[in-house]
Amino acid sequence: MGLSIAAAISLYGVSFGALSTAAGMSLWQTVALSALLFSGASQFAFIGILASGGTGAAALGASTLLSGRNTIYAVQMKALLNPQGFKRLAAAQITIDESAAVAMSAEDPVEQRRGFWGAGIACYLFWNLATVLGALLGDVIADPEALGLDGAVVAAFLGLLWPRLKSLDSWALAVLAALVTTLTMPLLAPGLPVLAAAVVAVIWGLTSKGRRT
């Protein structure tokens, strides 16, 4: 399962490499983002904000805020696996949507451990390989949009969101967040609309809990 997920995100990694170089990042800056930052949504946000004329500070802020998700995964992985010492440092680096999702979908502790490390390491290797490939291809291909790479990114984010849309409540929030993002896009600096949606989501989480108790 870890391997198939890693293979699945590879195309996404190729798109990242291609779009990153198209956004004006060098090959090595692109590689650094995949090897050191290693969190797809944050990487896309970083280059997306720079590409649309945003500042480095806005790119840093949005990519860090988007990684708030990973903090929550890390908390959950601590509860499941509780890695210590060097293993904890390594686990932190590969704590992403995919590795956390595979670990959380397993029932017994052995499968959880195997799922987390298997998916995490496979994703790390495939993602970085794909990034280099995309960055090199991106240099050759003048127009990644002709290949539909931007369409691939839209589809990938929807694919990540989809399994979480299990209730009317979650659908309503997703639509509201998308609406807030779209409506504030012409008004706010690049990257900030996503943060506006995040604020709406936090308020939603706090108030809907209140409604239920």
Partner 1 sequence: MSLWLWVLAACAAVYATKLLGYLVPEGWLRHPAVGRVSAMLTIGLLAALVAMNTFSADQTVVIDARLGALAAAAVALLLRAPFIVVVLVGAATAAGIRALG
Which of 19, 7, 4, 1 lies closest to 151 in space, CA to CA? 19
CB of 108 to partner 1, least distance (A): 21
Our finding on whether 133 is near partner 1 (CB under 8 A) is no
CB of 122 to partner 1, least distance (A): 14
Q: Is 65 helix (H, G, I), strand (E, B) or coil?
A: helix
Question: Which of residues 129, 137, 141, 160 is near partner 1 by CB under 8 A?
Answer: 160
Q: How many residues in total does the chain contain?
A: 213
Q: Is 54 helix (H, G, I), strand (E, B) or coil?
A: coil
CB of 70 to partner 1, least distance (A): 5
CB of 117 to partner 1, least distance (A): 15
Nearer to partner 1, 125 or 155 (CB): 155
Question: Which of residues 48, 115, 120, 138 is near partner 1 by CB under 8 A?
Answer: 48
> What's the gap between Cα 17 and its chain centre?
14
Rounded CA-CA distance 79/94 in Å is 16
Question: Which of residues 105, 109, 139, 164 is near partner 1 by CB under 8 A?
Answer: 164
Phi then psi dihedrals of residue 165, to 5 deg: -90, 75
